[in-house]
Amino acid sequence: MKRGLFDARMFADAWRLWEDARCSKPMHFMHHYFGKQAANMRLEKIEQFIAVVDAGSIRGAARQLSMSQPALSRALQQLEEELGVALMLRSGRGAILTEAGRAFLSHARVAEAELRKAADEARKTVSEGSGLLALGLSPVGASLLLPELAIGLRKARPKTRIRILETTPSALLPLVREEVMDLAVTQRTRINLDAGLDYRPLAEINMRIAVRPGHPLLGAKPRALSDLVAASWLYMTAHDSSDDIVSRSFLADGLPVPLPAVHCGSYFVALDLIAATDMVGVLPPTLLRSCIEEGKLTELMLAKPLMPISLGLYTRAGSPPTPSTKTAIDLIVSISRRLAFSGELRNTSPLIAGPKRSEAARSVRGVAAKK
């Protein structure tokens, strides 16, 4: 179970991702010099402004741009309204820059060059299959998809840089909506989907209770949830949020929600904490099985299973995927479908480590042979 390689980088990747989004050179330049209004400006308007300055008149610039004088005049007026200043004085002799216009021009020329360069690089990225692919995964999504997803992406898109952020659903969805992340795989907890997001269901999962071997709550009989109200719980999400499966399961049984002993956003840390203490945590069956096989954790059986979670794929509504994003979606769907068809994600039978499963199978075959 080699997950440290991905989880150990999550915080550094998250910071770098935010910095890339916030400080990409053309956008940083525009915001630095033009403020919030830069978001409403189009490269076309800046080009038109520069053309008028270079031509010395609206008439000359309109001829060069192959557009009518009234249309160019309206475009310049809109630019001035967005900036809130007059950039030039119009007269029969031509257009003369104001002081604000001269200040704007020096930066506008640089901004035009930077934006053109950014557009060229974007087109080159799509044509060559390179660029950055930013993936958001909840702890459940990461445990099911990694490392297979990362290996598959590296094989299919060797020129694409991949960044993986593992965090809670409530933190991931705004990043997808704002296009900081290309997609997110996480559980769906809200009935009404955000209008800015598209959702594709992937799998239903029955989560399991994980404890260390020799935990005082272990016994011959399965435990009721009422036995675990006072347990020392490790939460992967905020215990009072709709994202949390533990809170929802206790409330559904009319029980008080247990208070968290520790809140942890990554399974990489959570596994060590559960193994070294008497804390109780919730894990996907595939992850807990691997921990059982290593002798690190064991399952605390419940008389009644926890509420299942719905894992799904979130993308930004109305935003066509890039080739790299399309590849990631295809891999995610393929991995999820295979896991769902295996039946393990929805099975509620006790988890048995690999060697024990083999011994049990041999025992069954032996009994059958005697008969």
Domains 129-203+316-342 and 208-307 equal at CATH topology level: yes
Quick one: fold of 129-203+316-342?
D-Maltodextrin-Binding Protein; domain 2 (3.40.190)
SS3 state at 35: helix
Quick one: fold of 208-307?
D-Maltodextrin-Binding Protein; domain 2 (3.40.190)
| Cβ pair 298, 131 in contact under 8 A | no
243-267 pLDDT, tens digit per residue, is 688 998 999 999 999 999 998 877 8
Among residues 138, 187, 189, which one has the least CA distance to residue 166? 138
Residues of the chain scoring pLDDT < 50: 1-40, 355-371
DSSP 280: B
Among residues 193, 202, 134, 130, which one has the least CA distance to residue 160? 130
SS3 state at 94: strand
Q: Residue with structure tokens 């999820």?
A: 336
Q: Residue with structure tokens 């008969």?
A: 371
197-221 pLDDT, tens digit per residue, is 999 999 999 999 999 999 999 998 9
- The correct answer on CATH 1.10.10.10 for the domain covering 25-125 is yes
Q: Where are the alpha helices (DSSP H) in the chain?
A: 4-7, 10-23, 25-34, 43-55, 58-65, 69-83, 99-128, 139-145, 148-156, 169-177, 245-252, 267-276, 285-293, 323-342, 354-370
| Cβ pair 181, 165 in contact under 8 A | yes
Both structure tokens of 274: 């559960």
Q: What is the pLDDT of residue 304?
A: 94
CA distance 224 to 89: 80
Radius of gyration of the chain (CA): 29
| Cβ pair 274, 287 in contact under 8 A | no
| Cβ pair 243, 235 in contact under 8 A | no
Q: Global pTM?
A: 0.62
Cis peptide before 147 (omega within 30 of 0): yes
- Domain-wise residue ranges, the chain: 25-125, 129-203+316-342, 208-307
Q: What is the pLDDT of residue 26?
A: 38
50-72 pLDDT, tens digit per residue, is 889 888 888 888 888 889 999 99
Strands 94-97, 88-91: parallel, antiparallel or unpaired by DSSP? antiparallel
Q: Name residue 370's amino acid.
A: K
| Mean pLDDT, the chain, integer | 80
